[in-house]
Structure 1
Amino acid sequence: MQTGYLAFIDEAGDDGLRQIKSDGTRGASEWLVMSALLVRADKASEVPNWGWDIINKIDQHQLSHLHYLRLNQNKRLIACEALADLPVRIFVLLSNKKNMQGYRNTRAEKAKINRTAWFYCWVSKLLMERVTKYCARRTLKDYGEIRSLNVIFSDRGGVNLNDISSYYSYIKWQSENERLFRPEFDLNWSVIDTNNFEIHPNKMKIGLQLADIAASSFFNGLELNAMQATNPEPAKRLLPRMALAETGRTFGFGVKLMPVWKIDKLHPQQKLLLDFYKEK
């Protein structure tokens, strides 16, 4: 099947669940944010130039690659505004880990599926539910036929391509054999194939660096710093590129919060970004 789209997947935060930091205590990040930057295949050759254009706009010519967390506040705003001008669609999955502290997925362990990386893969699956649905909806309009999705993951410790491919092969088997616990949350398998998965170091792919802008800006808008504050403004600038559901809504589709809490339960600083997007 001919390729129609590329999805660059990156994340901010960590996938640790043993001890989640809270109220100034040390531990793993409270949030794991995973992003997908979706690009039409016929635009793929333009992606490197997009990255260099952003580097020029933030006047960081000495950089060999983009790294959002190394930018100051003004340059983060510029980077997000520049990303919002590009012909891409952005998806973010916002996972608050407090309710999962110490959790073990015994079913995954028994199945020997991603024993070291199951949480990362599970979060990526929640993200890909929306990405595949969007591509399946768009492909006939864009190309007049079903075209496949290539997925490029950012390399990270503890997760390898075999882990990811095995996980997706397993949930595809569950789907085909009607074994899914929640079939309404299945992927659209017409556009995705594990043979089209890749994994690369972030610095080697501009598309992954652009996905990092999305993931890290949302992470900074949610994760409390040492002063118990957040920085939501850059992530707000991405609104024009956030993916829309068929209903025209962004929240719950292009921006998905897990678990589905009442936002009122979160810290006031964390609510600043979510209150902005929940109306979109």
Structure 2
Amino acid sequence: MSSSDKEYGYIAYIDEAGDPGLKRVRPIDDEGGTEWLVLSAVVIRTPREPLVKGWVENIVSKLGIKQRIDLHYRTLSPTRKVVAGQMIATLPLRGFAICSNKKNMRGHRNKRAEKIPSQQWFYNWCIRLLLERVTAFCASRTQADYGKVMPIKIEFSERGGIRYSQSAAYQYYLGLQQEGGKIYLKKREPVMKMLDWDLMEAHAHSNRAGLQLSDFVASAFYQAADILDVKQDIAPASMLKPIMAKEGGFWHDFGVALFPTPARIADLKPDQRQVFEAYGYDFAKW
């Protein structure tokens, strides 16, 4: 994916934790894909782009990390994760987390999604859920921020096995479907005027400070919800409340979105519900 000289008003740094595999899913299967796929976005206004590297360098310095110059969630001690979360929560940015519990998706095929040329329909579907919310947030601000529509530059964190050109193509096909009035699931739709094919790139995590912030968000919510692969801890994700995006004054189903819906379908254990309850989910109600 190539860079572009086009004008943009926002940058969304996107990362993930977990994997998109559906053929076999733990804990249903003894061996298989992760129970969760968490996709995150950290969104900033373009004028702040030159500041992001300094933000991360300051966090790394304050944490007293000597062995590396980048911020990587999984290498941090529990105490450092909390401190880093507190520092990130003071930055002028907005965070989003799409948390997909995959148990109900085990072996599932989405024939509609598969019609769009791609070898990773489930990952692309989750990217759609994320961009629905990111584009809605930026679209609600662009006139006040710039006096005109200013699109979002998307930067993906490169991970093995994911073809980011297919994710960009998926959004392009959604745009064509919207124009023809044929898009499926209309509760939310990506605000396509905020997206541009030429403003989607993939970069190595170590080369983009913004992606390191997004890694923190994705990994913090993954650790808060997962009880199979990591030692569960909701504290780092809880520290992020000041930056997680709200819609109508609420985090749930916007800045923090749990799938499947309604929330009870996910069949989560009490410990797994804690982080979502902290962000406004009511499992008795939904």
1:165 aligns with 2:181: no
1:57 paired residue among 39, 50, 62? 62
Give the CA deviation at 1:109: 3.5
Aligned to 2:73: 68
1:208 corresponds to: 211
The alignment yields a C-alpha RMSD, in angstroms, of 1.8
Deviations 1:199-227 (A, max 9, x none): 11111111001100000000000010369
Look up the match of 2:192.
189
- In the alignment, the residues of structure 2 paired with residue 110 and residue 226 of structure 1 have an alpha-carbon distance, to the nearest angstrom, of 33
Pick the aligned partner of 2:49 from 44, 54, 73: 44
Alpha-carbon shift at residue 107 of structure 1 (Å): 3.2
Deviation at 1:24, TM superposition (A): 8.7
**Unmatched runs of 5 consecutive residues or more in structure 2:** 1-5
Paired letter, 1:58: L
Q: Which residue of 2 aligns with 1:17?
A: 22
Residue in structure 2 matched with residue 252 of structure 1 by the alignment: 253
Match of 1:133 in 2: 136
Distance verdict in 2 for CA 1:192–1:110, change over 3 Å: closer
Structure 2 CA distance for aligned equivalents of residues 197 and 219 of structure 1: 25
Residue 265 to residue 101, structure 1, CA distance change in 2 (3 Å): closer
Alpha-carbon distance change, 119 to 279 in structure 1, aligned in 2, over 3 angstroms: closer
1:232 aligned to 214, 231, 234, which one? 234
Match of 1:5 in 2: 10
Deviations 1:211-260 (A, max 9, x none): 00000000000010369x62111100000000111x11111110111111
Q: Distance in 1 between matches of 2:218 and 2:269?
A: 20
For 1:241, what is the secondary structure of its paired residue?
Answer: coil
1:91-170 equivalence runs, <5 A: 91-111=96-116, 113-115=117-119, 117-170=120-173
Counterparts of 1:50 and 1:71 in 2: how far apart (Å)?
Answer: 17
Paired residue type of 1:114: S
Q: How many Å apart are 1:158 and its aligned residue?
A: 2.0
Kindly report structure 1 stretches of 4+ aligned residues shifted beyond 4 Å.
Answer: none
What is the Cα deviation at residue 272 of structure 1?
A: 1.3
Q: Partner residue of 1:220?
A: 223
CA distance in 2, matches of 1:215, 1:152: 15
1:23 to partner: Cα distance? 7.1
Counterpart amino acid of 2:155? Answer: I
Shift of 1:261: 3.2
- The residue number in structure 2 matching 1:268 is 270
CA contact (8 A) 1:175 1:183 kept: no
Following the alignment from structure 2 to structure 1, what is the Cα–Cα distance between the partners of residues 20 and 164? 17
AA in 1 matched with 2:118: N
Secondary structure at 2:141 match in 1: helix
Task: Note if contact 1:66-1:209 (Cα within 8 Å) is conserved in structure 2.
Answer: yes
Does the 8 Å CA contact 2:250/2:280 hold for their aligned counterparts? no
Q: Contact between 2:113 and 2:125, CA under 8 Å: does it hold in 1?
A: no
Question: 1:143: how far off?
Answer: 1.4
What letter corresponds to residue 269 of structure 2 in structure 1?
H
Contact 2:60 2:69 in 1 (8 A): no
Residues 157 and 226 of structure 1: is their aligned pair in 2 closer, same or farther, counting only changes over 3 Å?
closer
Query: Once the 2 structures are TM-superposed, how far is the Cα of residue 194 of structure 1 from its aligned partner?
Result: 1.4
Match of 2:3 in 1: none
Task: State the alpha-carbon separation in 1 of the partners of residues 226 and 154 from structure 2.
Answer: 27
Structure 1, unaligned runs of 5 or more:
none
Task: Report the AA paired with residue 257 of structure 1.
Answer: L
Q: TM-score, normalization: structure 2?
A: 0.91
Q: Which amino acid aligns with 2:276?
A: L
Contact 1:14 1:32 in 2 (8 A): yes
For 1:127, the aligned partner's letter is L
Q: TM-score, normalised by structure 1?
A: 0.93
